[in-house]
Amino acid sequence: MAASVDVTIERAEIVHTLPGIWETGDLRRLLELVEFDDLDGLSDSDLHEVALMVLQDLGHQEAGEAVLETIFGKEMGKGVRQNLVDDLQDEEPWQDFSNVRQQRGIFAAVVLMHQAFPNRYLNPDAKRVALTLSMDAETLSNAALLRLLALGMEPTDVLRRLYDTDLASGPFPDADHLIWSRESPAPREIVLISSRQWLGALARGMSFRGKV
């Protein structure tokens, strides 16, 4: 039997990174890819600073290709990576990717490229939304959560327009890729981060009820 759930948006704000983005393992893979000489002797605390200096020495084109290859590996061909480097300078370039499975990775690439080349690449924006529920948050799948959040949106908002069938019922295969970060600081609290394309319609103080 479906249960009613009350949802309240406690905070909605713009952020410029994601939790756990570019951790030590990611940075080491990047430096290994560009054949950094003294990787074994490099401490974890120095990885980020050294990675930025190495990217700057490479120049933005070669650096961008290396960053994208680190993120996507064989999922993205060399020619696509080469062409995409300049596109990363656009505002919110991840929105141009119809494959939502790659949108978070594009955001991650821009984060690091902005840090290395702040005059060339924009500081990327994402939307963070903190909400409280009238039930245990851990029991909700990402699909169920997005279906609840869609109740606070207008039919013309992007999420509802593009995913009207998936939001109605049945499988929702893209749900796990539309949410870039999800944390539960308390049993009935959730903090989400994703593109403004998907969560931009949600604002502090909104409340609504749905069934799961």
pLDDT at 1: 60
Q: How many CA atoms lie within 13 A of 88 on its CB side?
A: 31
How sure is the predictor about 160, in pLDDT bands with cuts at 50, 70 and 90? very high
Instruction: Report whether pLDDT(166) > 90.
Output: yes
* Paired tokens of 161: 């327009």
Extract long-range pairs of 138-144: CB within 8 Å, 24+ residues apart. 138/184, 138/187, 140/190, 140/212, 141/175, 142/172, 142/175, 142/176, 142/178, 142/179, 142/182, 143/171, 143/172, 143/175, 144/212
Extract long-range pairs of 45-50: CB within 8 Å, 24+ residues apart. 48/22
Span 135-158, average pLDDT: 94
Instruction: Measure the CA–CA gap between 172 and 163, rounded to whole angstroms.
Output: 9
pLDDT at 173: 95
pLDDT at 17: 97
Question: 172-207, pLDDT tens digit by residue?
Answer: 999 999 999 999 999 999 999 999 999 999 999 999
Instruction: Report whether pLDDT(131) > 90.
Output: yes
Q: What structural domains and CATH numbers belong to the chain?
A: 4-16+125-211 (2.40.30), 24-116 (no CATH)
Instruction: Report whether pLDDT(158) > 90.
Output: yes
DSSP 60-99: HHHHHHHHHHHHHGGGS-HHHHHHHHHHTTSSSGGGG-S-
How sure is the predictor about 41, in pLDDT bands with cuts at 50, 70 and 90? confident
Instruction: Report whether pLDDT(2) > 80.
Output: no
